Amino acid sequence: MATEVVMPKLSPTMEEGQLARWLKKEGDKVSMGEPLAEIDTDKATMEMQALSNGVLRKILVQEGESAPLGQPIAIVGEPDEDISALLEKSKGKTAPAPAAKAQEAVATTAPETKPSRPAPAVSPDGKQPGAAAAGGRMLVSPIAARMAADAGVRLDSLRGSGPGGRIVKRDIEAAITDKQRPAAAAPRLRALTAPQPGEKGAVYGPSAYRDEPATEMRRTIARRLVTSLGPVPHFFLTSEIDMERAADMRASLNELYPDLKLSINDIIIKVTAAALMQHPQVNASFQDKTIRYYEHADIGVAVATENGLITPVVRAADVKSLSDIAAEIRELAGRARARKLQPEEYTGATFSISNLGMFGIDEFTAVINPPEGAILAIGAMTPKPLARDGNVVIRRTMRVTMSCDHRVVDGATGAQFLQTFKQILENPIYLFLG
């Protein structure tokens, strides 16, 4: 009996998914439990498994398109089974997701011609580039955009073969194939209908641009931040920390154990966990009618990926050694960038750390990730003159800012936590006394 394949819930915070890749094509046999497609969720790319046996009769949502949870995305049935009733039923359920609607609006409202505009340049095969296909607006599927970035393919040199001139996966694959062929001897054609930028008499109009659908991760980040900074009453505490001893300890440990590859961030994670154990009021979250206090410090560590920010969680960091934390965070960060984390690996932190010091940022404030009660923003470690025993000395210092949810953490409570954090980090030998 033919059945609908619907968009599954693959992560706790997922509200819709984006078809990254179909692993089967129409007419292929499928077996229960067999991977059917790859879905871009808000945090990772995950495999969707078939829930029945049969043949993939119809794909309703194409690669690069989004669908809300529960929307039919395909039909599986017997080879000769009549699926017309299911197709008709699915028509009312497969309304385009927000990203798809935005693309349609761009494609249908783009001006057909503007005589005052210069004619678009052409590619060597005589095709107009993708940007010109939609009146200066470039439509690109997310998977095509990622493939183009990885292969170094210029999107503005392509003409999309998808709906409305959209650049899709097959266009990038063709471009990669062309790129691998020997360069043609024919000269590159050039539009001569208007002066080129920089030439005498050139007229500049509004800049061309392209619209790319927001990834599920980026849309989820947007939704969660709106529900954080507004409803959560933030306040901020900043402290400057002498990092000389912590930096020396790191250098000594890495010299003794070259395979350890300990980072300052690893030390910060361990110190944070130790401070949280001394101040359990900070290792807490607001739960509407209750405040939840956690027994262990599950530290979320912000990792930047090409699609947005994700926070893999180091569980029970308070009972793990520095070497365990260093190895675990390297492994988690690598899989986060590859979009291979499982939902339980990036949800349920009790406290988070965001470190932008490696980008040269001296100080910043971070937005709390609900329902956590606080987040620590770490700035760069830089040398500066300090007064010590009546003398001016050069010391490596670091500024940290703690964002607190005032419903959970009072000002004095947050200040006491930060004082303990500073004390341990300035005297990291404490970590080996417990």
Q: Return the domain boundaries, the chain.
A: 3-95, 101-188+204-211, 230-432
In this predicted structure, the answer to whether residue 49 has a pLDDT above a threshold of 80 is yes
pLDDT recorded at residue 192: 42
pLDDT of residue 114: 37
CA 375 to chain centre: 19
**Tens digit of pLDDT for each residue in 60-110?**
999 888 888 999 999 999 988 888 888 888 776 654 444 333 333 333 333
Task: Report pLDDT for 204.
Answer: 63
The least confident of 21-30, 117-126, 215-224, 419-428 is 117-126
In the predicted structure, residue 329 carries a pLDDT above the cut 70 = yes
Residue for token pair 């990092």: 243
pLDDT of residue 17: 87
What tens digit of pLDDT does each residue of 109-145 get? 333 333 433 333 334 343 444 434 334 456 776 677 7
The answer to whether residues 341 and 335 touch, using CB atoms and an 8 Å cutoff, is yes
Question: What residue type is 371 in one-letter code?
Answer: P
Please compute the mean of the pLDDT values over residues 412-434 and round it to a whole number. Answer: 92
Q: What is the pLDDT of residues 271-290, one digit of tens each?
A: 999 999 999 999 999 888 88
Catalytic residues: 406
- Does the pTM of the predicted model rise above 0.85? no
Instruction: Please tell me the predicted confidence (pLDDT) of residue 200.
Output: 57
User: Average pLDDT in the 418-434 region?
Assistant: 91
Per the model's pLDDT, the better-predicted residue between 136 and 58 turns out to be 58
Protein fold of 101-188+204-211: Dihydrolipoamide Transferase (4.10.320)
Overall size of the chain counted in residues: 434
Residue 226 has what pLDDT? 65
- Order across the sheet with 3-6: list the strands: 3-6, 72-77, 54-59, 29-30
Q: Is there a contact between 342 and 290 (Cβ–Cβ < 8 Å)?
A: no
Q: What is the pLDDT of residue 33?
A: 87
Reply yes or no on whether the pLDDT at 227 is more than 80.
no
pLDDT tens-digit series, residues 306-316: 777 889 999 99
Q: Which CATH topology does 230-432 take?
A: Chloramphenicol Acetyltransferase (3.30.559)
pLDDT mean across residues, the chain: 80
Q: Assign domain 3-95 to a CATH class.
A: mainly beta
**Residue 279: per-residue pLDDT:** 96
d(CA 51, CA 151): 35
Question: What does each C-alpha distance from 410 to 48, 142, 299, 373, 404 come to in angstroms?
Answer: 44, 43, 21, 11, 8
Pick 427 or 13 by higher pLDDT.
Answer: 427
